[in-house]
């Protein structure tokens, strides 16, 4: 291989997660990116002010418009996702709502799939209507319905892949073809996948959204969001972001940069653990059904296999019994924490019926596919055998208690 070819070789994900977007020489020779904990930045004299305001000299002015620690995190995420640019936010929902508001105006229309995150669906179908913006919700995986839902005023298609909680996988190639046919934009929430497992921009998607709270920061200690894509679109989103003010703080950015350094190692471990746990659960007598795209039994396994490098750290499953059995199972766990998030180093487990969908009636939940016995497990980085053992003893204990009654 020639020197030129070697120079062009793209570095691996772990290398870029540690080194991308940072200068080799750093403040005070620090090995880590420092936290620039300030709300405003000083001009030395009036000439500096004019160089910035009149001549466009790049520098920091006020915290709502950028921060050095934030800039490193932002550029690193863009590198990992293969994006030209990106913007960071205080949460994943802030990233989603700001992006949507940037892309539409009164009289416009958008299309979203019914398997999207509950709060995203609520924002699109309820709040946007107050501003005269139409929204059509189509069944996930019905590409004919998706195609028919797009009209003259449609501006973009929004979906997730994988989705929550059934881990459905969007065929990004078909999405690209439909979007180009109608000349509309595409937005994919890729939080459950991460750039290690899936990079939607490579499939022609226009914008990718992440909840940084999950896998990318990876330690259950920050809230954050990001939208990544080509520079022109990101510039429009950044302009509105400055006005709405959902600005991530420097300390969160520092923790994000720290988390990203082990992101590839963590997610690879979570991929492997999830596959092991999914296979165990699929063979367990107390489990009715397992939903994991790495299993051949998952309805989108072939799509996932074609467009993903890994299947993620979340496994959803339905256990035998009823609501009381599900509660006994959760209460019997000794290692897994009952909590409504994912992507951190600790294994978390949640019961959608009583945590996310507790306001809905049983009939409403079942219409959404949220059964009394549906469980979502988000693997951490513990030894997979220990998680398997914990799940096994809790499943058996909940079954024995049911028989005694």
3-state secondary structure 326-370: HHHHHHHCCCCEECCCCCCCCCEEECCCCCCCCCCCHHHHHHCCC
Average pLDDT in the 43-63 region?
A: 94
What is the per-residue pLDDT across 324-377, written as a single tens digit (0 to 9) for each? 999 999 999 999 999 999 999 999 999 998 887 766 777 777 777 889 999 999
CB atoms within 10 A of CB 396: 15
Percent of the chain with pLDDT over 70: 96
Residue 217 has pLDDT above 80, yes or no: yes
Q: Choosing from 115, 117, 199, 292, which is the catalytic residue?
A: 117
**Cis peptide leading into residue 162 (ω within 30°):** yes
**Which domain-ending residue is among 260, 292, 316?**
260
Overall domain count for the chain: 2
| 348 plus 371 within the same structural domain | yes
| 79 plus 204 within the same structural domain | yes
Q: Domain of 56: which CATH number?
A: 3.40.640.10
Average pLDDT in the 193-197 region?
A: 98
Ordered alpha helix ranges (H), 117-193: 118-122, 143-149, 172-182
- For residue 18, the model assigns a pLDDT of 94
The two tokens of residue 275 are 């596959």
Residue 96 has pLDDT above 90, yes or no: yes
Average pLDDT in the 270-275 region?
A: 98
Residues 6+ away with beta carbon under 8 Å from 70: 88, 248, 250, 253
Average pLDDT in the 305-310 region?
A: 98
**Which domain-ending residue is among 260, 285, 301?**
260
Query: What rounded mean pLDDT belongs to the chain?
Result: 94
Three-state DSSP state, 316: strand
What gap in Å lies between CA 248 and CA 213, rounded to an integer?
A: 12
pLDDT tier at 171, thresholds 50, 70, 90: very high
| 254 plus 296 within the same structural domain | no
- For residue 1, the model assigns a pLDDT of 35
CB 291 within 8 A of CB 166: yes
| 150 plus 291 within the same structural domain | no
Average pLDDT in the 399-404 region?
A: 66
CB 320 within 8 A of CB 288: yes
The two tokens of residue 283 are 């063979």
- For residue 198, the model assigns a pLDDT of 98
Write phi, then psi, for 394 (nearest 5 degrees).
-70, -40
Q: Is residue 401 packed enough to be buried (19+ CB in 10 Å), middle (13-18) or exposed (0-12)?
A: middle
Q: Domain of 392: which CATH number?
A: 3.90.1150.10
Q: Choosing from 85, 189, 206, 249, which is the catalytic residue?
A: 189
Instruction: Using the structure block, give the residue that is written with the tokens 């053992």.
Output: 389
pLDDT tier at 10, thresholds 50, 70, 90: confident
Average pLDDT in the 72-100 region?
A: 98
**Which domain-ending residue is among 204, 229, 260?**
260
Average pLDDT in the 373-398 region?
A: 97
The verdict on whether 64 is a catalytic residue reads yes
Percent of the chain with pLDDT over 90: 88
pLDDT tier at 278, thresholds 50, 70, 90: very high
| 77 plus 184 within the same structural domain | yes
Average pLDDT in the 28-38 region?
A: 91
| 217 plus 93 within the same structural domain | yes
What gap in Å lies between CA 310 and CA 60, rounded to an integer?
A: 39
Residue 5 has pLDDT above 50, yes or no: no
Ordered alpha helix ranges (H), 150-288: 172-182, 194-197, 231-244, 250-260, 263-282
Rg of the chain (C-alpha set): 23
| 342 plus 389 within the same structural domain | yes
Residue 63 has pLDDT above 80, yes or no: yes
Instruction: Using the structure block, give the residue that is written with the tokens 């992440």.
Output: 210
Three-state DSSP state, 72: helix
The verdict on whether 385 is a catalytic residue reads no
- For residue 401, the model assigns a pLDDT of 62
Residues 6+ away with beta carbon under 8 Å from 370: 165, 352, 353, 356, 357, 360
| 105 plus 224 within the same structural domain | yes
pLDDT tier at 172, thresholds 50, 70, 90: very high
| 238 plus 267 within the same structural domain | no
pLDDT tier at 6, thresholds 50, 70, 90: very low
Element (H, E) at 315: strand 314-319
Domain housing 328:
263-400
Q: Choosing from 41, 52, 64, 258, which is the catalytic residue?
A: 64
- For residue 312, the model assigns a pLDDT of 98
pLDDT tier at 400, thresholds 50, 70, 90: confident
The verdict on whether 400 is a catalytic residue reads no
Residue 129 has pLDDT above 90, yes or no: yes
Write phi, then psi, for 314 (nearest 5 degrees).
-110, 135
Three-state DSSP state, 291: strand
Average pLDDT in the 147-155 region?
A: 98
pLDDT tier at 7, thresholds 50, 70, 90: very low
| 235 plus 273 within the same structural domain | no
Q: For the chain, how long is the longest CA-to-CA vector?
A: 82
- For residue 40, the model assigns a pLDDT of 95
Instruction: Using the structure block, give the residue that is written with the tokens 């180009």.
Output: 180
The verdict on whether 189 is a catalytic residue reads yes
End-to-end CA distance of the chain: 71
Average pLDDT in the 117-129 region?
A: 94
- For residue 403, the model assigns a pLDDT of 60
The string of DSSP codes covering 193-240 is THHHH--GGGGT-SEEEEETTTTTT-SS----EEEEE-HHHHHHHHHH
Spell out the long-range contacts of 174-181 with Cβ–Cβ below 8 A and sequence spacing 24 or more: 174/143, 175/203, 175/204, 175/205, 176/203, 176/204, 176/205, 178/143, 178/146, 178/147, 178/150, 179/204, 179/206, 180/204, 181/147
- For residue 2, the model assigns a pLDDT of 37
CB atoms within 10 A of CB 362: 13
| 154 plus 277 within the same structural domain | no
């Amino acid at each position: 291989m020639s020197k030129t070819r070697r120079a062009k070789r793209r570095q691996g994900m772990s290398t870029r997660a540690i080194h991308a977007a940072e200068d080799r020489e750093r403040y005070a020779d620090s090995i880590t990116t420092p936290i620039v904990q300030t709300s405003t930045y000083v001009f030395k004299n009036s000439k500096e002010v004019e160089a910035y305001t009149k001549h466009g000299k790049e520098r920091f002015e006020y915290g709502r418009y950028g921060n050095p620690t934030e800039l490193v995190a932002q550029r690193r995420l863009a590198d990992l996702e293969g994006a030209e640019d990106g913007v960071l936010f205080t949460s994943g929902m802030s990233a989603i709502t700001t992006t949507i508001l940037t892309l539409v105006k009164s009289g416009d229309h958008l299309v979203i799939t019914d398997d999207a995150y509950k709060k995203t669906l609520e924002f699109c179908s309820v709040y946007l209507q107050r501003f005269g913006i139409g929204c059509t919700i189509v069944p996930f995986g019905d590409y004919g319905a998706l195609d028919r839902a797009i009209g003259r005023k449609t501006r973009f298609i929004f979906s997730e892949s994988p989705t929550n909680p059934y881990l459905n996988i969007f065929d990004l190639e078909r999405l690209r073809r439909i979007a180009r046919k109608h000349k509309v934009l595409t937005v994919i929430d890729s939080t459950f996948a991460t750039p290690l497992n899936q990079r939607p921009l490579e499939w022609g998607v226009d914008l990718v959204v992440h909840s940084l709270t999950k896998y990318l920061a990876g330690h259950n200690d920050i809230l954050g969001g990001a939208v990544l894509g080509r520079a022109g679109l990101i510039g429009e989103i950044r302009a509105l972001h400055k006005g709405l003010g959902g600005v991530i703080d420097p300390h969160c950015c520092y923790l994000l940069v720290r988390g990203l350094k082990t992101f590839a190692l963590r997610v690879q471990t979570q991929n492997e653990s999830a596959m092991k746990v999914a296979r165990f659960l699929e063979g367990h007598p107390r489990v009715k059904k397992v939903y994991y795209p790495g299993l051949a039994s998952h309805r989108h396994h072939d799509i996932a296999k074609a467009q993903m490098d890994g299947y993620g750290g979340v496994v959803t499953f339905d256990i035998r019994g009823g609501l009381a059995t599900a509660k006994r199972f959760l209460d019997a766990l000794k290692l897994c924490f009952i909590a409504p998030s994912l992507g951190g180093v600790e294994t978390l487990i949640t019961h959608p019926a009583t945590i996310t969908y507790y306001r809905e009636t049983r009939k409403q939940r079942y219409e959404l596919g949220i059964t009394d016995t549906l469980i979502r497990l988000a693997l951490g980085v513990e030894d997979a055998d220990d998680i398997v053992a914990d799940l096994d003893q809790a499943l058996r204990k909940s079954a024995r208690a049911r028989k005694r009654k």
